[in-house]
Amino acid sequence: MEQRAHFSKKIEDLKVMVLRMAALSESAIHKAIRAYLENDADLAEEVIVGDDVINEMEDQIDKFSLELLALDQPMAIDLRTIVGAQRITVNLERLGDEAVNLAHRALFLSTRPPLPHNPKMESLANVAKSMLSEALKAYVDEDVNLAGQVCRMDDKADDLNIAILRQFVTEMVAESRIVERGVHAIIGARHLERIGDLATNVAESIVFIVEGTSLKHSCKG
């Protein structure tokens, strides 16, 4: 009984570590989006410098998870909790990378005249932030229904990304002087869409943890 209580404490410690990393990744995403939409070079630099901490946390969680798997030989739900946490951590690290990628776009665009306000870009940013926020809430609450909602939101992010691409291509054909900035804006939209993809991956991992089923490649279905 004492051994079981000790193991349960380790599982809770693992969840806390994942949530701390999640908070850092989500903060980086929010800062990068603001830097990108507002051409804020200082905030972009802050995101880039802060990525090392996210990477270090991934290493710590990976080591802790492997120790749990090797020493405690967990079964059923505990095993899924550990493996699911590892999957989520990988995606949190990739979210940090996407924040850095978006920050680099912001740094470049901050050195050029601003492009006109783009409501679709702002909408895509809001969808991406919402997907990530809801996915993390679903992890805290072990809420598979909320995880499913995150998956279904991915279609909206994809549609907005395509609409932005088409819009900028049309504008660049009409006005060649915005081509360089337009290309960086298109890449920025792709980073935002990718944030949605990674939030979907987190949602899929939550369903795996709670139900033991895999929704990979069919989460939106």
Span 47-102, pLDDT tens digits? 999 999 999 999 999 999 999 988 777 788 889 999 999 999 999 999 999 999 99
3-state secondary structure the chain: CHHHHHHHHHHHHHHHHHHHHHHHHHHHHHHHHHHHHHCCHHHHHHHHHHHHHHHHHHHHHHHHHHHHHHHHCCCHHHHHHHHHHHHHHHHHHHHHHHHHHHHHHHHHHCCCCCCCCCHHHHHHHHHHHHHHHHHHHHHHHCCHHHHHHHHHHHHHHHHHHHHHHHHHHHHHHHCHHHHHHHHHHHHHHHHHHHHHHHHHHHHHHHHHHHHCCCCCCCCCC
What is the model's pLDDT at position 221? 44
What is the model's pLDDT at position 70? 87
> Rounded mean pLDDT of 134-157?
96
- pLDDT averaged over the chain? 93
What is the model's pLDDT at position 216? 62
Q: What is the residue extent of each domain of the chain?
A: 1-211
CATH annotation of 1-211: 1.20.58.220
Model confidence pTM above 0.85:
yes
What is the model's pLDDT at position 71? 76
What is the model's pLDDT at position 3? 66
Span 89-116, pLDDT tens digits? 999 999 999 999 999 999 999 999 999 8
